[in-house]
Chains A and B, each alone.
Chain A
Amino acid sequence: MLAGAGLALLGPRLFGDPQSSDPDAWRLTAYFFALWICAAAVPRLRAVAPLAFAFTTLALPYSVWILLLGWPDNLPGVLGAADSLGRTATAGVAELAIVLVMAAGYRWRCPLPTPSIRLLRLPRPRVLLVTGVGAVVFLAIAFLLPAQLLGREGVPLLALAPPNAFAYLVANAANATAQEVQFRGVLLAELERGHPATVAVVFQAVIFGVAHIAVQYAGPSASFIPIVTALGLVWGWLTRWTDSLWPAIVIHIVADLFITVAILGGLYGL
């Protein structure tokens, strides 16, 4: 399944410029969607249909997010103006809504053993404690590490002035929550159904890291992907340990806000 995804993603780059007319996210969506439909329709392949659907849950909302970000400026009252923070926030909320619907569909239709997405479990005291401590530990590590390693040189105060702050908050919270439901929710739950916990946690973290390769084009550092993979491992382990998705969601939101606030652009240097 992943070999075909690699071909769908990287094949066109042999003859085209990926930054031009190449809708790479939609290629992946089409690939996994077709696999899911075929697997669901062919009895012999029916066992892999949930996994194909889990991968579709990763690809489709992201594709819609990109589509909304680049949508022409003909619906400013609905989507927000093009290239605005309002548009980013709207796209993030739409992405989260699609993810939640697909996660509910996956949970509803998935065959036995029943997957555990861990989203609706009420937070217990231990979960709340882990959430708070985890967020503080993340920020402490981020400020103790060398700033230039992370690109954490400064806070662009003009860009974060009050009119923008709310949009930044909504956009990051929606995006982080969507990613947690996708990776530590649906994907981890699907992998846990057929594999040992070790394999499930590592595999979802690797996919989480690889999925962030697109960010690398404008990202702050070459070490971004391994760091994201490591975070995926930690958050996957936290999700299993607490049996709740919420610690990972909250720490992910804190991490995304930290990146937005404190990581300067890496466009002109590593």
Chain B
Amino acid sequence: MTEISVVEAVRLAHARAMAEDDTVLVLGEDVGVNGGVFRATEGLLERFGPERVFDTPLSEALFVGLAVGLGAQGFRPVVEFQFMGFIYPAIDQLVNHASRLRSRTQGRLTCPIVVRAPYGGGIHAPEHHSESAEAMFTHIPGLRVVIPSSPAKAYGLLLAAIRDPDPVVFLEPKHAYRAPKEEVADDGQALPLDRCFVVREGRDITLIGWGAMMTEVLTAADRLAEEGVSAEVIDVATLKPLDMETILGSVSRTGRCVIVHEAPLTGGFGGEIAARLADRGLVDLLAPVKRVAGYDTVMPLSRLETHYMPSAARIVAAARQALDYA
């Protein structure tokens, strides 16, 4: 078994899903001949043909609406956005149609679609290419919101998303697209769409993150370990629906918690987790819940983006505050 990257795992999951189900289609800009701007769909056109893989015109609002029509007719389209920054024209289709077609027709018409978009900063991309808007999607009833952090999770969660009978927004951390790599078995095994992953067990504090931030979170956990602090690390992975049992279980043991995300602090999904901890886990908390997030600024262009992105150092500093609290 060779080690593969997140983007290779995404490609592998597409191929697996398309091979096992003829109704799975791939749509988007440059996904066919060019194999996608990140090569996430490379080889799919050659293998599955032009009636399964479609290069669409450059119309973002259209892709998702097109997928809604295909989904209602029993297909399972997977739509690729080149960057999350271009997804906003399609929000109308996600809010008004994809997420509620099942509900508004009482199950008569359904929307088994996946909307994929690379998100986040750290690769020195142009303007509008580096934002993290996951919280916007978690606010939409009827959607699932999934963010893998590793090749194995990208493979298993994307398979699950494609097989799921409801619309899934699948956000891929492009900072983690090429590295690190890991061994992934192409065994068709999906991962659950409603569970957080405890990626490291610990006793003293719980560090919670998702997507590309997991690299920083794990680095922070390593540094804390050097100081003798045992940090438990949780990869949320499926933001909606949110598995609070795992988070509450961890915090009930550690009593302290830092939540990390790239997205701006205000209205970020960390606020939702913190609110639920305050509601259900208050008696277990030994310190205030800390959040390390992007600042409430416009995502800066590449020269200053590292100052915006939460770093292991900021996470360690927040953890110390939580640990030092009386």
| A and B co-occur in one complex | no
